Every structure is written in C-alpha cells, then in structure tokens.
Amino acid sequence: MEPLAALKKYFGYDAFRDHQQQIIETVLGGHDAFVLMPTGSGKSICYQIPAIVEKGVGIVISPLIALMEDQVRGLQANGVRAAFVNSTLSSGEAARIQQGASRGTVDLLYVAPERLLTRDFQHFLSQIDIALFAIDEAHCVSQWGHDFRPEYLRINEVTRRFAHVPRLALTATADEITRRDILQRLALEHAKVFISSFDRPNIRYRLQPKQRDRYQLRHFIESEHPRDPGIVYVRTRKRAEAIAAFLDDSGIPALAYHAGLPADQRMGHQRRFQRNEIRIIVATIAFGMGIDKPDVRFVAHLDLPSSMEAYYQETGRAGRDGKPADAWMLYSLADGIALRRLFEQSQGTEEFKRVLRKKLESLLAFCETVACRRQVLLAYFGERYPDPCGNCDNCLDPPATRDGTIEAQKALSCVYRTGQRFGAGHLINVLMGKATDSVRRWKHDRIKTFGVGKDLSKAAWDSVYRQLLFRGYLREIPDGHGGFGLSPEGMAFLKNRETIRFRCDPVGREQSRETGARQTPQAPNATLADADLLEALKRYRTKVAGENGVPPYVIFHDRTLIEMAAVKPKTMAQLGGIHGIGEAKLRRYGKDIIAIISESQARLA
C-alpha cells in the first residue's frame, strides 16, 4: 500500500503535513532520521505509516507505560494492528503477543526501554522481521534534557545488532546542545535531520508576578476557563495536594497527580482526566509526559518549571487540537532563589554547571522580558520569529516600564555594604530602616543604606530584588542560606553608573483582566456546525467511548464531529471524506452517524 493511501484508510486524513512525507520516505528508503517537531505536530504518523506499509514489525520504544496502552487502543480503534508489551502484562500475555508478532499479526509493537533490554526480548527480535525502530521521546537519552533516563543510553546496544533496520528518533524538546547530545548518544550522526518550527500559534503565553497564588489561580480559572479542562503545575507533592483541595473546596473539581501517590491511584486520576470525568489536574512534573489529551484549554504554572525546555514541554500539552489555549504562569523572587539554590548545589563538572547556569538564566530572563514572549521562547530553541506575535501578554498589553536606576543602585549597594551574604528579607529591612534584632546585631542600622528606601513598600523592594536577580545582576551565595552577592554585571552596573528600566508589576485583580480579542488560527468553523446535531453526535461519542472504555477523543476528535455537524454527510462515501474518518471508523460507526444526521434533518423538516 502507498503511504498516502494508508493515511486515508487508517487515519482518515487526506494529506501529510509539513515534513511527514519526507520523513516517511527517508525511513522507507532504509535511512535513519532524527525528528524534532513540537508536540501535537504529528510525529507518531511518521513511524506508524512506514510500519503499516512495510513488511515486518515496527518496534516503538516509548518511556511511559501508562500512555502506551492508550496509544495502542487509539490505533486499534483505527483498525491498525498494534500491540504493546510492558510490565503491566503477565508473562503469559506478553508471550502471546510476541508469538503473534512472529506470525506477522502485528505491525506496531510498543515496548518500554527496560523490556527492550531484556535477553528474552532481544531473542524475540532476532526471530522476526523488523520494519523499523522508533525511539520516541529521544531527549530521554540526554542528561541535558529534562527527562534523562539511563536505560535510554543502552538502546544502542540493541539496535546496533540490527544495522540494516532504519531508526527514527523523535522528540518535541531539544535545544542545540541537547540535540547534538542525542545524535551522538544514539549514534545517529548520519541520520537525516528534520526540524520544524516550534511555534504553537494557538497558545497564548502570559506571565504574572506571584502574589496570592491560589486566589490568582482561582480567578484565572473562574473568569477565563469556567468549564474547560486544564493542567496546573506545581513544584512539590504537598503543594499539588493543597492546591487541588483548595480548588475542589472552591467548587472547581480537581485532583492531584504526583509521584507520591500509589501507582493505581495515580493512573486512576490520569484516566479520569483523560475521559473528562475530572476537569483539572494539579500535578508535579511527573504528570503528562506524552499525554495525549487534545482539548486541554489551559496549562497554569503556579511555580517556575526547571528550565525553558520543561516550560515549553509542559505548556505544549495545551491546545493540541489547534484551538485557542492559554499558557499562564506565576513567578516570584522566592521561585528564582529556589531554582538558583538547586543549581548551586548541583554536582558536576564546571562545564555541566556552566550549561545549567545558562539555562536557568534564560528562564528567569524570559519571565521579566518586555519583548514578545513567543520571540524569546523560540529564540531559545534557535528559531527566529520575525515579528511580534500578537498573541502573548507583552504583545496584547505592552507592560509599562519605569526608570529603576536609583532603586537598583540602592538595592545593589545595600547588598555590597552588608558584605554580600544576606537574603532579600534582611536587605529590605535595612533599606526600609527597620532596626530588627538581626539588623542591630550586624550593626546594619549604622551603614549608609539604612533607611534610604523608606519611600517604597516591601512588595516594591521585593519586585526590585526579583528583577535584579532574574536579570542576572545578583547571584546566589552557595551557602544554602539564600544570601545574595553581586554578579560581575551587578558590579559593573554600580561602577559604571549604568541605567536600568523595570517592569511595572500589575496590582490587584487588574492582573487577570482579559486582554484583546482571541484569535483562532486554523480552528474549524464551529459556527457553521448545527448545534443540536453536534450535541447529538457528542452524546453518541460519549456512549461509544463508555462502551469501549476509552476516552471520547479516541473515538472522534472534536474537530471531526464539528465537521460532520457542518457538512452533514448523507452517504457513507461522503462521511468517509470527513477529517479523521478512516475505514475502520467508517465501518464501525458510519451507519449510526448517518442515522443520527438524517434524524436531525428530519426533525428540522
């Protein structure tokens, strides 16, 4: 079968996207490929189609057991012969699947890296025809990525023994240095490299200083996403529990998700979210690697993520269906200090630390920038985005800035005169002329900067220190007490009498005011759809999903239903032309859908 015919037959799509065709041709030509494309851009098709059309089994190495099953079920619902083997199966079940694969009844076999490395599995591999190896989430092989998994380093030991089998490594996240690392560690130096734009035009990026985080979050959800599914990221397990409970108490159904929960409970929460039974998940970073829910309307970060890659990856879970979605984040001085501390305490070579420091600085600078967020974000991944995007907070509502030279001079010289060892709390007391015990003990009520900052509030000084830290004028003293020293830039600022402008932090409720009109790039036109018919189709989808025990979007994406409700196909052939309807779905659900459509038309007549 031709690749395009298989795309239509199994997935119901009419055309390949951007690079998909070239990547598929590369693999079918027997060559290795490295694919760097953003989440939601359609990477899976790049190995699924070759595995379907080629003789033999496509082996897909994927790190997350919890998601394998959903992926495989989704494929099976499309009539693709897919299966998985992982530790959730009994050895009997696994053996049965592997036997089936040897007899040629499987086109795609998903496997966790641990399993791939077992002798048993390698023996199995040596007895079958392998169409290709797909290495999903390939950044897991690099310690520069944010999901380093040691087993990934050993994938080569296995694939090396099948030198004639093409390999396809895929990831949605990798800056320059991680990219080089992946190619080297997976021995893909000769692979053809495909990189597509990382832009996610439907995601609106917005950041705000953290004040009373849970109230800011609640206001954001209530005013902008009162009914939408969303993910809230926090740094610790305890916070995940507390924030979920707070939302729940506020009448916003939410569940926590973190590595401290028993595996079955965690899985249960994830499934309930995937199936729209629970609206909001409050998670630590453990949640969502590769999560495949297309209609997440917002991702809120209540704490800073660990890096720009993590930020991009996590916000990337929003709006995979292409419709408008929000990436909303709060940040604070305390967050910056916590991250800096982690960094200072990290072990490793000077080179390692240098890379880490640069990554951290990029993230903090991103928070305070007054430039287009999208431009800054994409620049981090080496991509130039020519004009301001018009779909981020800084574009929609350009932040006011003010001259902060005098304040910066006061704040930095206070650091200097107190001996470069105190944290923001103490420094602010000195600036504001508060003779606390500690201030008196250190005789800081007698230095020149004591009381020179009485004109500003504590919050204002907090903002000054935050901006100085985030912009690299201060550095954390690595003694674990959160004290500041001056960075070379901070020193130069004082010496050379430079000037500086600060962002004016928004105050009170103002900060969550809705900004500008929403843009809906490439969203299917819902207004053309017949609303009653759409509802009827959704009810049908819910019913079928329930019967099959899968999330609704595995049956049909929203976009497919909307298109049906707009086009109102009357024949099976017309229905087959709808986006997202392949042969299997046409066969299974076609008659029912046509009946629903003609019923709704009859009601109108």
Choices 39-47, 226-234, 380-388, 413-421; region in contact with ligand ADP by CB under 6 A = 39-47
Among 17, 446, 587, 591, binds ligand ADP (CB under 6 A): 17
Choices 168-176, 368-376, 494-502, 520-528; region in contact with Zn ion by CB under 5 A = 368-376
# residues near Zn ion by CB under 5 A = 6
CA 404 to CA 456: how far, in whole Å? 12
List, in order, residues 6 or more apart from 366 with CB less than 8 Å away: 207, 308, 311, 373, 376, 377, 380
Q: Dig out the tokens for 315 from the structure.
A: 């916000």
CA 363 to CA 39: how far, in whole Å? 20
Q: Dig out the tokens for 354 from the structure.
A: 């240098």
Residue 42 touching ligand ADP (CB under 6 A): yes
Residue 270 touching ligand ADP (CB under 6 A): no
Among 37, 333, 412, 432, binds ligand ADP (CB under 6 A): 37
Q: Which one of ligand ADP, Zn ion, none is in contact with 372 (Cβ closer than 5 to 8 A by kind)?
A: Zn ion
Cβ distance to ligand ADP smaller for residue 134 or 217? 134
Parallel/antiparallel/unpaired status of strands 401-403 and 82-85: unpaired
User: Least CB distance from residue 584 to ligand ADP, whole Å?
Assistant: 14
Q: Which one of Zn ion, ligand ADP, none is in contact with 39 (Cβ closer than 5 to 8 A by kind)?
A: ligand ADP
Among the listed residues 582, 576, 554, 578, the one whose alpha carbon sits nearest the alpha carbon of residue 74: 554
Q: Residue-wise over 120-139: b if at least 16 C-beta within 10 A, else e?
A: ebeebbeebebbbbbbbbbb
Cβ distance to ligand ADP smaller for residue 41 or 467? 41
Q: What is the end-to-end Cα distance of the chain in Å, rounded?
A: 43
Residue 375 touching ligand ADP (CB under 6 A): no
Choices 14-22, 194-202, 356-364, 518-526; region in contact with ligand ADP by CB under 6 A = 14-22
Residue 40 touching ligand ADP (CB under 6 A): yes
Among 51, 392, 474, 554, binds Zn ion (CB under 5 A): 392
Taking CB positions, which residue lies at the least distance from ligand ADP? 42
List, in order, residues 6 or more apart from 110 with CB less than 8 Å away: 60, 62, 68, 71, 72, 82, 83, 84, 85, 86
Residue 395 touching Zn ion (CB under 5 A): yes
Q: Dig out the tokens for 162 from the structure.
A: 């099948």
Q: Please say whether the beta carbons of 329 and 230 come within 8 A.
A: no
Q: Which one of ligand ADP, Zn ion, none is in contact with 171 (Cβ closer than 5 to 8 A by kind)?
A: none
Among the listed residues 137, 174, 170, the one whose alpha carbon sits nearest the alpha carbon of residue 32: 170
CA 434 to CA 188: how far, in whole Å? 61
Q: Which amino acid type is present at position 65?
A: I
Look up residue 286 and give its DSSP letter: T
Q: Which amino acid type is present at position 177?
A: I
User: Least CB distance from residue 229 to Zn ion, whole Å?
Assistant: 25
Q: Which one of ligand ADP, Zn ion, none is in contact with 311 (Cβ closer than 5 to 8 A by kind)?
A: none
Residue 315 touching ligand ADP (CB under 6 A): no
Among 43, 225, 471, 475, binds ligand ADP (CB under 6 A): 43
Q: Which one of Zn ion, ligand ADP, none is in contact with 82 (Cβ closer than 5 to 8 A by kind)?
A: none
User: Least CB distance from residue 203 to ligand ADP, whole Å?
Assistant: 14
User: Least CB distance from residue 391 to Zn ion, whole Å?
Assistant: 6
Q: Please say whether the beta carbons of 452 and 473 come within 8 A.
A: no
Among 26, 41, 173, 196, binds ligand ADP (CB under 6 A): 41
Chain residues that interact with ligand ADP, rule: CB under 6 A: 11, 13, 16-17, 20, 37, 39-45, 294, 320
